[in-house]
Structure 1
C-alpha cells in the first residue's frame, strides 16, 4: 500500500453551530489533494478533533471520504482509542466502509506498559485485513511507544508504517531496525527534512493544509539530491511550522490551522470545547506568517 510522502491529518470543518460541515468536508478534500498536493489524508485524527466527534460523525466522515476519493488518493481512518475493544469495533466498521488504512494512536491516559502496547496493537491489527499505521505522540497520550516496541510491531504483516513524534533519535532507530518495507513518517512538521535525512519516508502534516505545495517541493528537492535547495525551503517554511503551534505561545491544534484556513477563504469554522478558537492577538500572529 503506497500512501505517498505527504499525508495531511485533516481538520474537520464545522458550521456556525459547531456541527460537522459535510459540504465543507468534501471541498476541503479537493483543496488538500489538489492545490496543496497531499498524497493521502487522515480523517478523524487529532487534527480532526477526534476526541469530540461522535462515533456516528466519524463513520459518516469515513464513508464520505471514501466515496469522494473514488480511488484518487488514500483515505486513512483514525480509529484508535484507549479501549482496545472499542478500537477493534471502530476499526472493523471503518474497514467495512472501504477506508484504505487505519491510523491507531497509542492508548492515552491509562498509560499501558510496552507489553500492553504491543498486545493492544497486535489485537487490533489481527482484527482487520487492511493496513495499519501506528501513531506515537507522547505529548498527548502520556506514553511513548518505544522504538523497540515499534520494531516488534513492524513484523506483524499488516502493520505497515508509523507516524512518530518522539524525535529524530527514535525515528533513526526504527528506520534502522524495522522490518523491510516498513515506512516511518514524522509527525512533526518542523522535523520533515531532518526525518528524511535519517531515512524516514515522509510526513503526516498539519502545516500542509496551507503550505502543502511548498512542503512537496522541499521533499522533492531532497529526494532529487538538491539538498541545498531543500534546506533553503526548510528554513523559509520553519516559521510557519512552528507558528501553527506556538503563536507566539503554545496553542492547542487545530485552532491555529483552522484560523489560517479561514483566513485563506477555506471555510472550516471553529473548534469544539474544551478547545478554544485563537484570540485576536494569536490570530494576528498567524496572519503575519503569511504576509
Structure 2
C-alpha cells in the first residue's frame, strides 16, 4: 500500500511544520439526521452539511459518537458519506467514523468509506472487550493498513473503556497513514507529551479544551457543539491565528456556557445537539434507541443559552425559525 500525504486543508491559513492540520482546523462532529419515522434523512444531511461548511467548518466528521454510529447500518454509513460529498464537494474534508469492537468489521467499514469518497478515517479504540495495549495497537495498525486514507485515532476512554495510552500513540505515529488524534482523554498533559515528540495533528474532542490544546500546537477541534455554533468555534481559531490571544480567550469563555449546557448536563451531546437543532429549524430529527430525546424543559433551556450566546433570536443561524 502506497502511503498518502496528509490532506491540504480546503480553507483557512495553511498548516505549518509546527502545527500540522491534515483535515483542516475547524471540524464538526456532525449529527446524523433522521426522519420523524427514524429513517436516514439524506436530504437533511446534505442541507446540514452545506450549512456547516458555509458557516466556517473546514471538515466534517461523519458517523462518530455524535453521529450515532452504533445504531446506523453499514449501508447507511456509506450512503451518508456519498450524500455529504455531493453536498459539499471539495469545500471540506470528510472524515468517516469506522471504529467498532471488531477488527474485521472495522476494516470492512474503512474500505467502504474509502469507496464512498471519504478523505480520512476516524478509528476509535475497540470497545467492550477492553484489549491490552499491544492488541489495541495491532488493531489500529491493521485498519490503517487496509486503505490508502489517512487515519485520525479517536481516544475516548470514558466510552470505550480502553485508553490509547500515550506510549502506544507514540509508536503508532510511526505509521505513514496515522496522521492525527481526536483527543477526548481529558489528559492535556499526555496530549502535549505526544504532540511535542511527534508530528501528529491533535484535535480537541472536548470542546472546552479547544483553545487550550490549540495554544500548545494542536491542530484545531472536532466539535459537537459546532453543530449549532460553527462560527463561534471557527472564530476562536481565527483569532488565535491572527495573534489576538485575548480575543480568542474571550470567545472560548463565551461559548463555554453552551458547551456546559450541551455536554455536561447528564445527556449525551447527540441528544442535546439534535434538540437544539430542531428548535432552530435545522435538520436533525429524533435520536435512535437506546438514546431518548431531550424533554421540552431541557430543549427550552438549551435555546435560552444559545440565544444568549448568539446575541438574541435575531442573530440565530441563517434560516432558523
Q: TM tier, shorter chain?
A: over 0.9
Q: Which runs of 5+ in 1 are unaligned?
A: none
Cα root mean square deviation, aligned: 1.1
Question: Tell me, what secondary structure is at the counterpart of 2:44?
Answer: helix
Work out the number of aligned pairs and report it.
286
Question: Tell me, what secondary structure is at the counterpart of 1:289?
Answer: helix
Equivalent position to 1:60, from 74, 79, 90:
79
Cα deviation, residue 65, structure 1: 2.1
Residues 133-172 of structure 1 aligned to structure 2 (within 5 Å): 133-167=152-186, 168-172=188-192
Cα deviation, residue 245, structure 1: 1.6
Cα deviation, residue 68, structure 1: 2.8
The equivalent of 1:281 in structure 2 is 297
Cα deviation, residue 281, structure 1: 2.2
The equivalent of 2:270 in structure 1 is 254
Q: Distance in 1 between matches of 2:253 and 2:86?
A: 38
Cα deviation, residue 11, structure 1: 0.3
Give yes or no for contact 2:79–2:116 (8 Å, CA) kept in 1.
no
Question: Tell me, what secondary structure is at the counterpart of 1:48?
Answer: coil
**Which stretches of structure 1, 4 residues or more, deviate above 6 A after TM superposition?**
none
Q: Distance in 2 between matches of 1:67 and 1:263?
A: 26
The equivalent of 1:206 in structure 2 is 224
Equivalent position to 1:81, from 88, 97, 100:
100
Taking structure 1 as the reference length, what is the TM-score of the superposition?
0.95
Question: Tell me, what secondary structure is at the counterpart of 2:94?
Answer: strand
Q: Distance in 2 between matches of 1:55 and 1:18?
A: 16
Verify: 1:195 aligned to 2:209, yes or no. Answer: no
Question: Tell me, what secondary structure is at the counterpart of 1:77?
Answer: strand
Question: Tell me, what secondary structure is at the counterpart of 2:259?
Answer: helix
Cα deviation, residue 66, structure 1: 2.5
Q: Distance in 2 between matches of 1:57 and 1:131?
A: 22
Taking structure 2 as the reference length, what is the TM-score of the superposition?
0.87
Cα deviation, residue 223, structure 1: 1.7
Please give the per-residue CA displacement for 1:225-253, whole angstroms capped at 9, x wherever unaligned.
2111111111111101111123xx31012
Verify: 1:176 aligned to 2:192, yes or no. Answer: no
Cα deviation, residue 92, structure 1: 0.9
Question: Tell me, what secondary structure is at the counterpart of 1:268?
Answer: coil
Equivalent position to 2:234, from 197, 211, 216:
216
Q: Distance in 1 between matches of 2:184 and 2:232?
A: 21
Verify: 1:272 aligned to 2:288, yes or no. Answer: yes
Q: Distance in 1 between matches of 2:115 and 2:96?
A: 12
